[in-house]
Structure 1
Amino acid sequence: KGKSRGIFNMKGDDELCRFPSFFKLILSARLCLQKLEIPRKFVENHGEKLSDLVYLITPTKAVWKVDVVRKDTRAWLQNGWAEFVKFYSICHGHFLVFRYKGYSHFEVVIFDMSASEIEYPTSSRTGSKRKRATGIPIAPASIKGS
């Protein structure tokens, strides 16, 4: 207890319950679709808490707006996802961990094929006003309820 575990700053097993998470192994076929399916079990358990727009927050505190598209009991990260993938050079074999922090905010950690966390690019994605790829200013990650 009390040890820091990466960006999640876990204080104990109780934190694991409070902040549900899921991971995705990126395969070439998923990249071609330009969308990423949120695991069905996560959607079953937490989908009603997600708005049609979520915020992906990287360890550098860059914030990306990504639309959630739903069909029946399924949901995908879609509009904005391709820009996120391109900016972080996500490719086949990368492993992403999504930790849901509430208010449609996810912390995202990206690992490459060496099983190491990537070096996150910082150009044009950090600062007091963060912008998505389209240049629209969005709220800092610390503001909840957006």
Structure 2
Amino acid sequence: MVRRNPTLPIRFFKIILQTNLQRIQIPNNFTRRHGVGLSNPVLIKPPDGTKWKVGWKFFTENYSLGHGCLVMFKYKGTSKFDVLILDQNALEIDYSSCEPCDDKGNVGHSDNESLEI
């Protein structure tokens, strides 16, 4: 029997496909175990420090996510997730130097936004 340490961060990932660019679903096993602590909307924070309260489609467009990207979600409790984004080459995308809405679709900083998944 595998023991689970409740103090460890809880993570899951999603590979971005054409079918989930519009909408993403939190895994069923996660919601069964931790759904009590989830509200709608959930808040996500990518590495650039922004916080999102917009639809998933808008998030994927602003971070230029496409087929083959990988998004790692780290559950922080109380409907909050940190997000790590890897490109199609499995390299973490560096959004730290992005200006608001540059010509590649990357966004800058906003401290009062969250994302409903």
Cα distance, 1:125 vs. partner?
Answer: 3.2
1:1-146 residue pairs with structure 2 within 5 A?
Answer: 17-31=7-21, 34-66=22-54, 80-120=55-95, 121-123=98-100, 125-126=108-109, 130=110, 138=112
- Higher relative contact order by CA 8 Å / sep ≥ 6: 1 or 2? 2
* Superposed structure 1 runs of 4+ greater than 4 Å apart: none
CA-based RMSD: 2.1
| TM-score of the two chains, using structure 1 as the length reference | 0.63
TM-score normalised to structure 2 length: 0.77
Q: CA deviation at 1:59?
A: 1.1
Structure 2 unaligned runs (5+)? 101-106
Per-residue CA shift, 1:83-113, capped at 9, x if unaligned?
A: 1100000000000100011121100000011
Q: How many pairs does the alignment contain? A: 102
Tell me which protein shows more helix as a share of its residues: 1
Counterpart residue type for residue 23 of structure 1: F
Q: Structure 1: state its 5+ residue gaps.
A: 1-13, 67-79, 132-137, 141-146
**Cα distance, 1:119 vs structure 2:** 2.5
User: Deviations along 1:28-59, whole A, 9 cap, x unmatched?
Assistant: 1222xx11011110111111101111111011
Aligned 8 A contact 2:17 2:68 in 1: yes
Identical-residue share of aligned pairs (%): 38
CA offset at residue 18 of structure 1?
3.0
Question: What CA distance in whole angstroms lies between the structure 1 residues aligned with 2:99 and 2:35?
Answer: 30
